[in-house]
Amino acid sequence: MRVKTRFAPSPTGYLHIGGVRTALFSWLYARHHGGSFVLRIEDTDRERSTEASIQAILTGMAWVGLDYDEGPFRQTERFERYTTVAAEMLARGTAYRCYCSRDELEAMRAEQVARGENPRYDGRCRDRQAPVAGVNPVIRLRSPREGSVTVHDLVRGDVSFSNADLDDVILMRSDGVPTFHFGVVVDDADMGITHVIRGDDHLNNTPRHIHIQQALGVPVPVYAHLPMILGADGTRLSKRHGAVNVLEYRERGYLPDALLNYLVRLGWSHGDQEVFSREEMIELFDIAAVNAAASRFNPDKLGWLNQQYILARDRSQLAAEFGAFMDLRGLEHDQGPPLEQVVDAYRERAVTLEDMAQASTYVFHDFAAIDAKAARQHLKAGTVPVLSQVIERLEALPGWQREVIHDVLQAVAAALGIGFGKVGQPVRVAITGGTVSPPIDVTLQLIGRERVLHRLRQALQLAQAQPPVS
């Protein structure tokens, strides 16, 4: 049997990080087994579904590189099919029309809760023969009232539910739109889905879905319910935990490979291995090794992984990604050095591409002002000789390579009888406006001769204006 999995998000918002993890595991399972992966948009909630959400989902999937073999399908394009299936069920008696009003149902549930029971539909319309005038009925499943259903879950083992605790789910709403329960089951069957891999918030829905499958006479797919991803504080992931929308990770300069690598280790492991290429993930992924417990999202570890990927990336590829990132963020980089050089200088000190862009602004643009504290500490009257000598020797330099620049700074330190740091720091502050940068010779080389000399002269003036130290 050829494996076929699917990811079936509802377009009621952006694609969030938990959804990506679910999609990733389904995708991995399909790829590992040489099967196919389907994307299906479950847009039967016409109130909340939006076109913008569908686009956000497609963009998100494309960004992380989870490709699908079929789809995207949309349930709103399949309404005829659900209507047909529901009619067949009605004809066979596996479903029935229910005329209960919402108020009536609500009152019923309130009574049940008051009695300490699990609120559920009591089946009062099961045997009704005559329609109620003026009421558009819903269609409910006639589900078994005795016995039990067992979900054979790949990550949790067998989970049984008593049929007495389940009720007759609504298949079709009174306006003729299928419910989620009906839509998934019909679609999974029609599309030949063999393995349903989804969040464990659906575990409680599964026995109902099995009832529908049995009523339909279609095969029950293999189920695997994945543990949830919680926020760092152990509560349900939400905006206050930071970014939950995948596309925010793109905007913050995370690499999709790093994000996927982080996500795959949430609930899954392969011994002590932490870093997995896509190929390794596909090769090693095993649903049986998936943990059953929920896990918390740890931004620090994601950051560490992101830097690992930045560090290991091929320089021209990283440069291209960095350029794309700057373009996305509207950061101009035409006036700076080649991005390959920038990326090499900054990858060791950047967790994200955003960090890299932020840390390297002065190689692309002049800064507004030198950081006051840095100037106070490093551009004093005493540094005048240092700066003048550096300027003088750099002006005389025929070339502009890191090695010769380094020799100049070394020579200044020697001539003045001071340590290299006493030369490096003032120069760093003068040309970057701050105290942090890549090695000073690399930084000078990157910024370029003209800009460096200009900034050094300005810093010299500033230092000369300082009162002499006692």
Among 36, 360, 437, 445, binds RNA (CB under 7 A): 437
Chain residues 371-410 in contact with RNA, contact rule CB under 7 A = 406
The H or E element containing residue 49 is: none
Task: Give how many residues touch RNA by CB under 7 A.
Answer: 89
Which of the stretches 24-32, 102-110, 379-387, 452-460 binds RNA when contact is defined by CB under 7 A? 102-110
Q: Exposure pattern of 36-70 as b/e (b: 16+ CB <10 Å)?
A: bbbbbbbbbeeeebeeebbebbbebbebbebebee
What's the first-to-final CA gap in the chain, in angstroms? 86
Work out whether 331 is an interface residue with RNA (CB under 7 A): no
| Least distance to RNA, CB of residue 467, Å | 25
**How far apart (Å, rounded) are the C-alpha atoms in residues 265 and 267?**
6
Q: Which is closer to RNA, CB of 36 or CB of 437?
A: 437
Q: Exposure pattern of 126-161 as b/e (b: 16+ CB <10 Å)?
A: eeeeeeeeeeebbbbbbbeeeeebebebbbbeebeb
| Least distance to RNA, CB of residue 80, Å | 17
Chain residues 135-174 in contact with RNA, contact rule CB under 7 A = 138, 156-157, 159-162, 165, 170, 173-174
Chain residues 15-54 in contact with RNA, contact rule CB under 7 A = 42, 44-45, 48
Q: CB under 8 Å, gap of 24 or more: what pairs does 77-81 form?
A: 78/186, 78/187, 79/176, 79/177, 79/178, 81/186, 81/190
| Least distance to RNA, CB of residue 448, Å | 18
**How far apart (Å, rounded) are the C-alpha atoms in residues 37 and 370?**
54
DSSP string, 240-305: GGS--BHHHHHHTT--HHHHHHHHHTSS---TT-----HHHHHHH--GGG--SS-EE--HHHHHHH
Chain residues 181-200 in contact with RNA, contact rule CB under 7 A = 181, 183, 200
Interface pattern 229-268 for RNA (x via CB under 7 A) = -x---xxx----------------------------xxxx
Work out whether 315 is an interface residue with RNA (CB under 7 A): no
**How far apart (Å, rounded) are the C-alpha atoms in residues 407 and 387?**
15
Give the phi and the psi of residue 50 in degrees, each rounded to 5.
Answer: -135, 155
Chain residues 60-79 in contact with RNA, contact rule CB under 7 A = none
Contact assessment for residue 351 and residue 307, using Cβ atoms and an 8 Å cutoff:
yes
Active site residue 373: no
Q: Which is closer to RNA, CB of 117 or CB of 190?
A: 117
Work out whether 424 is an interface residue with RNA (CB under 7 A): yes
| Least distance to RNA, CB of residue 143, Å | 14
Which of the stretches 53-61, 111-119, 379-387, 388-396 binds RNA when contact is defined by CB under 7 A? 111-119
DSSP reduced 3-state for 73: strand
Work out whether 298 is an interface residue with RNA (CB under 7 A): yes
| Least distance to RNA, CB of residue 462, Å | 19
Q: Which is closer to RNA, CB of 105 or CB of 284?
A: 105
Work out whether 415 is an interface residue with RNA (CB under 7 A): no
| Least distance to RNA, CB of residue 300, Å | 4
Please identify every residue annotated as catalytic: 239
